[in-house]
Amino acid sequence: MGNTFGRLFRLTTFGESHGPAIGGILEGCPAGLSLDMDAIQLDLDRRRPGQSAIVTQRKESDKVSFLSGIFEGKTTGTPIGFQIQNDNPKSKDYDHIKKTYRPSHADFVYDKKYGDRDYRGGGRSSARETACRVVAGGIAKQLLSGVSIQAFVTQAGDISLEKKWDSLDLQESEKNPVRCPDPTTAKAMETHIKEVRKKGDTIGGVVGCLIKNVPIGLGEPVFDKLHAQLGKAMLSINAVKGFEFGSGFGGTRMKGSEHNDSYNSDGSTQTNFSGGIQGGISNGMDIYFNVAFKPVATILQEYETIDKEGNKVKAQGKGRHDPCVVPRAVPIVEAMAALVLADFALLNRSSRI
């Protein structure tokens, strides 16, 4: 359980960090979609380790192979099987955690739940699985023609983007390694990340996401509201601790008379505290939300923890890890948003006779 996402546009993934490969099966992609493979690989490259000086320096080429469901460049309607080799598994790096539980990792709970675990590189709980989300999300983006999904970093540690999104050129975010749309703030964040890394420590941050040109009517009533599914999608990404959309937590302090979004004659609204979603259904305005990421649990410092038998042991983080995940989380956030929207777009084909 837990390895499938979506109802009609549905991704199922497999794979541990240090097995031979990770991969997935994407079901329900309608037939006849011409796929731009380079665009998919580009998103994988945005997520890839080693892409800049401020992310983990692990070497993973992250090239995806498609095994089915595509014929002469187009989807055929049958399931799209795909795979990414794990081409550089340094499993020895993980011998030290074989019998040790790293704090705030999944080691302990996997052992308790399943009786044992593939400890190499975090196994199934490794963020490596998110590469499969990016592959499927890349296909979803192409299915959602006309819709623009752009994520970017708004906070790294305690450095926040102070300017409002709509005053910024979001394309700027891809021009710096932090993926913050304001070059000055990006520079400060970059410096901050480097300092933190030097101390063997880590920080968290916030990723914002803006989605434009969403058709009206996506989302389903009651339990499968559009923002509920977006929230689940984001919260399922490793290290995420919170999700808010539209006015979010800040909006709780407003009055109803301030918060209500008045209509223009064309059905658009004068303000957008609703964040593009009303009653769980898209209203055609921009969807925007924030995703909170905790500081990376793997720190390159000595720490005390316990082993399988409950003995206190000293341990030391090793290997090549991210000091801050938000720059690499940006394409994952986009991918998950695309999966949610693609699924609802297909479901919405049945809303009327």
| Site residues (CB under 8 A) for its own copies, limited to 271-330 | 273-275, 278-283, 290, 292-299, 301, 303-306, 310-312
Query: Closest distance between its own copies and the C-beta of residue 56, in Å?
Result: 14
Indicate the Cα dihedral angle 143, 144, 145, 151, nearest 10°. -120
Of 171 and 216, CB closest to its own copies: 216
- Binding positions for its own copies, 235-264, rule CB under 8 A: 235-236, 241-249, 251-264
Considering only 128, 179, 227, 328, the residue that binds its own copies (CB under 8 A) is: 227
Query: Closest distance between its own copies and the C-beta of residue 29, in Å?
Result: 9
Of 164 and 349, CB closest to its own copies: 349
Query: 121: closest CA among 151, 95, 158?
Result: 95
225 interacts with its own copies by CB under 8 A = yes
> Per DSSP, what are the bridge partners of residue 288?
210
Cβ 273 vs Cβ 309: under 8 Å: no
# residues contacting its own copies (CB under 8 A): 147
Single out the segment in contact with its own copies by CB under 8 A; choices: 56-64, 88-96, 114-122, 161-169.
Answer: 114-122
Query: Closest distance between its own copies and the C-beta of residue 52, in Å?
Result: 20
Considering only 232, 286, 318, 319, the residue that binds its own copies (CB under 8 A) is: 232
Residue indicated by tokens 């977006």: 230
Of 155 and 185, CB closest to its own copies: 155
- Residues 88, 81: Cα–Cα separation, whole Å: 22
- Binding positions for its own copies, 126-155, rule CB under 8 A: 129, 143, 155
Residue 113 neighbours by CB distance under 10 Å:
10
Cβ 121 vs Cβ 56: under 8 Å: no
Q: Write the burial class of residue 124 (CB in 10 Å: 0-12 exposed, 13-18 middle, 19+ buried).
A: buried
- 3-6 long-range contacts, Cβ below 8 Å, gap at least 24? 5/133, 5/233, 5/236, 5/339, 6/339, 6/340, 6/342, 6/343
Of 13 and 150, CB closest to its own copies: 13
Query: Closest distance between its own copies and the C-beta of residue 89, in Å?
Result: 13
CA 86 distance to own-chain centroid: 20
Of 194 and 267, CB closest to its own copies: 267
30 interacts with its own copies by CB under 8 A = yes
- Residues 138, 97: Cα–Cα separation, whole Å: 34
Residue 185 to residues 47, 180, 192, 334, Cα–Cα distance (Å): 21, 7, 10, 21
Helix (H/G/I), strand (E/B), else coil: 8: coil
Single out the segment in contact with its own copies by CB under 8 A; choices: 10-18, 51-59, 162-170, 183-191.
Answer: 10-18
- Residues 141, 146: Cα–Cα separation, whole Å: 9
Residue 237 neighbours by CB distance under 10 Å:
21
Query: Closest distance between its own copies and the C-beta of residue 227, in Å?
Result: 6
Of 136 and 186, CB closest to its own copies: 136
Query: Closest distance between its own copies and the C-beta of residue 150, in Å?
Result: 20
- Binding positions for its own copies, 50-109, rule CB under 8 A: 65, 67-69, 71, 74-81, 83, 101, 103-106, 108-109
162 interacts with its own copies by CB under 8 A = no
